[in-house]
Amino acid sequence: MEVEEMGSCSSVNRRRKSLDVLNDSYEANEVSCRHSIDSEIPDQTVVNLFPKSENFIQYEDGTRSPKALVDLCVENVCRNITDFASEIPKGLPQELVHKIIKTLIDKSALNTNTLKNLQQCFGETSELSLHTSRGVTDEWLKKLSGKDYNHSSQNFLDADGNHSCSSSGSSFHSAVSTSVFLPMLNIGDKNICDASYSSAFSHPIIAVPNNTDSSMSQMRVLDLRNSLKLTDEGLLHLHALPLLETLRLDHCHSITGYGLEAFTYSPLLQTLTLSECRCLNDIAMTKVANLQNLSTLTLDGCRCLSDISLKYIGRLLNLRKLDLSNVDLLTDEGINYLGSLSCLMELYIGRCRRITDEGLKTLVNQAGRKENLHTLSLSRCQIGDEGVLYLARLEALRHLDLNGCTEIRSIVLGETLSELEHIETLDVSYCPGIFSSSWQGKINNLKYLDLCYSGVKDVHLSRVTSLPMLEELNLDSCMVGDWSIGHLADNNVTPNLTCLNLADCDVSDEGMVHLPKFKTLQSLSLFYNNITNVGLSHLSGLTSLLHLNLDSRDISDEGMYHLRNLPLKSLDIFSGRITDIGVVHICKIKTLESLELCGGSIGDLGCSQISHHLHNLTSLNLAQNELITNSGASCLASLSKLKSLNLSHTGVSASVIRKFGGLKELQSLAMYSTRGIHKLKKLKNIQHEMPNLRCLRIDGIPESDGTIANSSDSSSDDDASMSSDRSQFEDSDLSIRSNEGGDMQLNY
């Protein structure tokens, strides 16, 4: 079960958004936009990504030496590949081919022309990842496949996987008028014929060529995540991948599913991920049902799927992991179709709000559940005490998610936990009063416990005397304070604790005294507590601390002095009174990779210090530091590893964006409330200089100037890889959405 890092918890994000809206510089009539950048990079940018000045290795003493000859040759090929008059020929050493392809991918230098000239190079390539490449389209896959199709003789697969022949058809959208009829299903108190769903999606039976010869015939792993423009027609070019084992299509928002027909010719396919493919429909599962070796299927966020899909998923007898989270239309009736999946080990049905105790009863009584199911997510399902008691039958269960199951009583869950001897992770966040009865002795093997927003009090924790295996504890927004920290630390209740979230609790400097006793602590969140510089002095003893989150107006430069020797990788200080002097102390932490210093008094000198000393930064947030000007922001352009930069509500103007052209790794740039942004000309050129840029957050731009893409048909949802903003999209598919801070989300 994946656990979200404390620093990105939704409660903190919500508070910060509300503060952003209240910022004085945020004009009431401004519209904030998040622009999708998904057009492929032009040929000239490919050349610029391989400057000849990088032919040398620079050393710290100022000397340099030329790179290895093979590296120089590879980079020269990559630099000039768009100018080649013909394709790179076959016969090159495969190691060299792999190096060329990897270099182009690492530099985000792939486009239609580079792929065309690489067509002959993919014959022996076993793994290809395009999830960081911009502008992946159907044309890309056509180039990758290496040939056009002969449509004179084709095979057809109907919805049940049966073959039928056709001698005509000019394209994959063959003019086959026969509807795909599926059997009758009983859902609730209604009889629903699948044919009605078929007419709603109205795709013809799809033709797939006999010929399986392809320049990608050796491919085993293919990653096409975040390809917003990719459609089913593009997928049909991938029909000749007989050795394919892993296929990732997450966040390919234009796929409906009929293109999955191509992979019925990939008999070795074991892993298929389709998370957030929101147009995917039940017809798609008729194609997936033919993949009999599939062991992992991820459909998280595919909201058009219904119980009908579960019927076809039930044919995948080798399935070990199934993720159906956020598939809203699933009901208790659909759970019946999973009965044939006796080997299932992981099942995620969180936020399927139509699943109740009755569905859970059906699930636990199915063959193999008792012995095999070790991970179960039921977050936000309509589960009560009756359903929780059924869980006791799952003897192999190790990971359980009951987030937001508000009808569960503490004493009943305690009874079930006493039967689940192997339970290791438990999420009961947003379950008020869930920890009110004693679970002592019932959760001795627990390694992860999430109790955020569950109303835990000091008196509840007093009943816990030993959690010997616990490594992560989340008490965000619970009514606990200094006494609880003292109890856990002084009595050695959690000797192996590595992660502790005390955000929005009642911790003061008195409680901070106990923290150094957690010798193994690596992650600590103290957002929204009553901590001063005095309290921070106690953190200097946490020699294993890697991640620290703080938020207090009582924290200043003096407190930063106490942090300078910690081996931190990430530091987040929100609304502290930090100035350039404090930044000098922070810059002693050379290990920092992520730094957030929002809402302080940092200026240009602080920016200069950061640019000179924190070379490992990949994420930097200096929002709401109004003393920062273009001069200071320009210094940040030397941080070549940056992937995320936020300068919203600072004193910079729009012209500084041109200084960031050298940030080749930058994926996200936030410049809300930036002066002159609406006057900035040639906004589209930004994408050419920063090939990895996928998301630009700005405001005040007329709608006609907002599209940063080469065509108007780009997908409506940008920056799918930014999972921290995913909650903004969950409840609507409209092209214009309001987020929690009141900004408008414009999609192009």
Separation CA 270–CA 259 (nearest Å): 18
Give every CB contact of residue 332 below 8 A, 6+ residues apart in sequence. Answer: 354, 355, 356, 358, 359, 362
Per the CB < 8 A criterion, the answer to whether 247 and 274 are in contact is: no
Q: What pLDDT, on the 0 to 100 scale, is given for residue 59? A: 85
- Higher-confidence residue of 273 and 134: namely 273
Q: What pLDDT, on the 0 to 100 scale, is given for residue 189? A: 42
Q: How far is C-alpha 746 from the geometric centre of its chain's CA atoms?
A: 21
pLDDT band at 477 (very low <50, low <70, confident <90, very high): very high
Count Cα neighbours of 94 within 13 Å in the Cβ-side half-sphere. 7
Per the CB < 8 A criterion, the answer to whether 637 and 662 are in contact is: yes
pLDDT digits 0-9 by tens, 561-576: 999 999 999 999 999 9
Cα-trace Rg, the chain: 28
Max avg pLDDT among 25-34, 188-197, 254-263, 652-661:
254-263
* Torsion region of 649: left, alpha or beta (phi above 0 gives left; psi -120 to 50 gives alpha): left
Q: Which amino acid is at 386?
A: E
pLDDT band at 691 (very low <50, low <70, confident <90, very high): confident
- State the pTM of this model: 0.84
Average pLDDT over residues 394-402: 99
pLDDT band at 681 (very low <50, low <70, confident <90, very high): low
Q: What pLDDT, on the 0 to 100 scale, is given for residue 213? A: 55
Task: Kindly list the structural domains of the chain, giving each domain's residue range(s) and its CATH number in brackets, ordered by start.
Answer: 44-121 (no CATH), 149-339 (3.80.10.10)
Q: What pLDDT, on the 0 to 100 scale, is given for residue 680? A: 63
pLDDT digits 0-9 by tens, 334-352: 999 999 999 999 999 999 9
Helix, strand or coil, per DSSP, at residue 599? coil
Residue 381 phi, psi (nearest 5) = -80, 165
Average pLDDT over residues 322-329: 98
pLDDT band at 201 (very low <50, low <70, confident <90, very high): very low
Confidence check: pLDDT of 715 > 80: no
Q: What pLDDT, on the 0 to 100 scale, is given for residue 191? A: 42
- Bridge partners (DSSP) of residue 247 are 222, 272
Q: What pLDDT, on the 0 to 100 scale, is given for residue 574? A: 92
pLDDT digits 0-9 by tens, 622-648: 999 999 999 999 999 999 999 999 999
pLDDT digits 0-9 by tens, 81-118: 988 888 888 778 888 889 999 999 998 899 988 998 88
Average pLDDT over residues 381-385: 98
pLDDT band at 157 (very low <50, low <70, confident <90, very high): very low
Average pLDDT over residues 167-191: 36
pLDDT digits 0-9 by tens, 240-280: 899 999 999 999 999 999 999 999 999 999 999 999 999 99
